[in-house]
Structures are given as C-alpha cells and as structure tokens.
Amino acid sequence: MGLRGPVTEAQHTDLARVKASQQHLLILVTEILNFVRVGSGRVLYDISNVNACGALTRGVELIEPLIGRKGLKWDGVTGDTKLMMRADPEKVTQILVNLLSNAIKFTDPGGALMVNCVAVDDKVLLIVADTGRGIPPEKFESVFEPFIQLKDGLTDRESGVGLGLAISRDLARAMNGDIAVESEEGKGSRFTLTLPRAMEPGAAASTPAN
C-alpha cells in the first residue's frame, strides 16, 4: 500500500528501478569522493601491527555471500596465521574487498578463488587469485589508472567509474606497500598486496659493542 493508495505491479517495477539508480549514483559519488580525498593527501592512516591472515579473513567475510551466490570454489584463507604486518586495518580491508569483489565479479560460475598470505623477507604478501577471464599483458598498468574501464576486464560499467583499483593502489603505497598484478587471458588473474612486515618481538637490530 502506497501513501496514495495501492501500488501496482508496474509501479513496483518502476520504484525498484529508481532505487537501483539511486544506489548506483551513490556508488559513483562515493568512488569519486574517495579518489579526491586519497589524491589530495587528506586521508589519515592509523598504522599498527595487523595479523595478515586475519585481515584476509575479515575481507572475505564481507563478501562471502557473493562467493556462494556465484557458485565459486574456494578453500578458505591459507598461510601463516601468526604473520604480522604494519598497516591501517581499515584501509587494508577496503583494498581487499575491492580485490576480492573484482575476482568474484569476473570469474564465471564454477571457477575458483584462492586467497593466501605469505612472507618474503621484510614484506608480507596478501594474494587474491582467481580463474577468471584474465587481463592482456599490455593492460597490466592501465587497470590501476583512474577512470579506466576495460571491456570484459576488471571494472564493471554497472558498478563504478573505474576508481577502485586506483584508490586501492594509492592506499597501499601510502602505507609503504604496493599492489601488483599477474594474469593470463582466459586463465585468471593474481593480485598481490604487499605491505611491510612487522618486526618480531626482540628482533630489533643490536648495536655492536665498542
């Protein structure tokens, strides 16, 4: 029942379209505002010791319903559960949700998603891999450029303006990290978020005695 009487089926359909358009517009505006804030250096970072696999788990929990809805295979988060890194946990979650959402969005039903964390020297690598459509080598760098949307690539025209990866890489670099991509068309992609490894307790460099 509407404010002025019964709502017809056609009106329900129209209202649903209006709501979807409003949500889409909100996504676009939010992406642009986030990009402007990051680019202008007005984003504050609360750097602390963060559990790497725990961060991946939090990111997956936020988008896990999409994994099931898409019918993708995955074996959970793998890696060293004690591995720590230096980062802003909220920014890490924002980055991982973007990477995971892209992996899900562009992997066909029945495909697979792999998520794990490893340490390499003084760096922690958070890896999101999929068996999706992949990216041509000449597009590896351009996917991180603002407002770039690749056909059948990593940016869905229905859900944004091509800022997700640009924002994610800027956030990573502001935390002394980075994001890299490896991919093969038709076989999938692998995005790696690299962040500084947290120093183990008692591992500080000692000063030689005189």
More confident position, 16 or 78? 78
Q: Give the residue from 152, 57, 145, 58 showing the smallest Cα distance to 105.
A: 152
Q: Is 163 among the domain residues?
A: yes
User: What is the enclosing helix (H) or strand (E) of 14?
Assistant: helix 9-39
Q: Is 207 among the domain residues?
A: no
Report the CATH number that the domain containing residue 54 is assigned in CATH.
Answer: 3.30.565.10
DSSP state of 178: E
Q: Give tens-digit pLDDT for 132-185.
A: 988 888 776 767 776 555 544 444 444 444 457 888 898 999 999 999 999 988
Side chain identity at 98, as an amino acid letter?
N
Domain encompassing residue 80:
25-196
Q: Is 131 among the domain residues?
A: yes
Structure token pair of residue 36: 């402007």
First-to-last C-alpha distance (Å) of the chain: 85
Q: Give tens-digit pLDDT for 108-120.
A: 999 999 999 999 9
pTM of the entire structure? Answer: 0.72
Give the integer Cα–Cα distance in Å for 24 and 101: 16
- The crossing angle, in degrees rounded to 10, of helices 164-174 and 89-105 is 150
